[in-house]
Amino acid sequence: MKQLDVCQVKRPYTTHLVPASACVDYTEPTDRPCIGDLLVAEVLSLGKHSTIESTTGQIINIFPGDILIGAFGNRYATGQYEGYVPTQWPETCDLLSIGGVCGEVVSAHSSMAAPTLLRMLGALCRADRRPLNLCSFALLAPSIAGQRTNDPSCRYGDELWQDDDRRDARTGVVAGWLPRCGRQDYRHGSR
C-alpha cells in the first residue's frame, strides 16, 4: 500500500461523492476492474482531454506528470470515443471524458485527437487495503412518508425531469450501478 498526498492529486467530477479522507492510499489491484472502481493514475501524455472537471465543477488543466483519481467506466459518445472497462488491470489506460471516466478506447470519431494516456499506479483503497468503488459512496433514495421512492419527479421536482431522454439517462446510470452494489429494489420512475 502506498500513501497518497491528497493535496497533490487532481480529482475529476466522477469522484465528487468520495470524501477526501478516503483518498489516502492505493495498492496493487488483485481482481479484474469493474465499472466504478476507483484508480490512481499519472498523466503520461495529453490528447483530447487536456482539462478535467473538478469535484466542484471547475475546469482545471492537467499536465504530464499530474496524478489523478478516476473511475473505470464504459463510454459511447458518437462524436468522440467508444471505450470500455478493460478486462484486466492495464499498465496504461485512456481518459474517456473530462469527468474522469477511464477505460480503453476501442474506436473514435475521425475528427478526434488521440485520447489522453494515463499510467496506472494502482487501485484507490481503504486503510484495510480493500479497493474502493463508487458504489461505496452512492446516495440512497430519500423516503417519503416512511416509504422509499425511486420516482425522480418526487425527489427533484417535475421541472428538472421534463426531458425524458435526460431522465432516462440519469436513472439508467443509477439502475446499472445498483445491482453491482447488491441493491435489487430499483424501479425506473414512472412517466
DSSP letter for each residue of the chain: -EE--GGGEE-BGGGTTS-GGG-SEEE---SPP-TTBEEEEEEEE--S-SEEEBTTS-EEE--TT-EEEEEE--EE-TTSEEEE--SS--SEEEE-STT-EEEEEEEE-TTPPPPEEEEEEEEEE-TTSPBPBGGGGPPPPPEETTEE---HHHHH-GGGG--HHHHHHHHHHHHHHGGGGT-----PPP-
Band the pLDDT of 109: cuts 50, 70, 90. Answer: very high
pLDDT for res 4 = 73
Going 44 to 79 to 176 to 62, the CA torsion angle's sign is positive
Going 53 to 45 to 112 to 33, the CA torsion angle's sign is negative
pTM of the model: 0.72
71-82 residue pLDDT tens: 999 999 888 999
Band the pLDDT of 185: cuts 50, 70, 90. Answer: very low
Distance CA 86, CA 107 (A): 14
Residues 6+ apart with CB under 8 A from 6: 20, 23, 24
Band the pLDDT of 1: cuts 50, 70, 90. Answer: low
Cell of 120: 496506472
pLDDT for res 75 = 92
Going 15 to 34 to 183 to 1, the CA torsion angle's sign is negative
Cell of 34: 469493474
Distance CA 30, CA 88 (A): 9
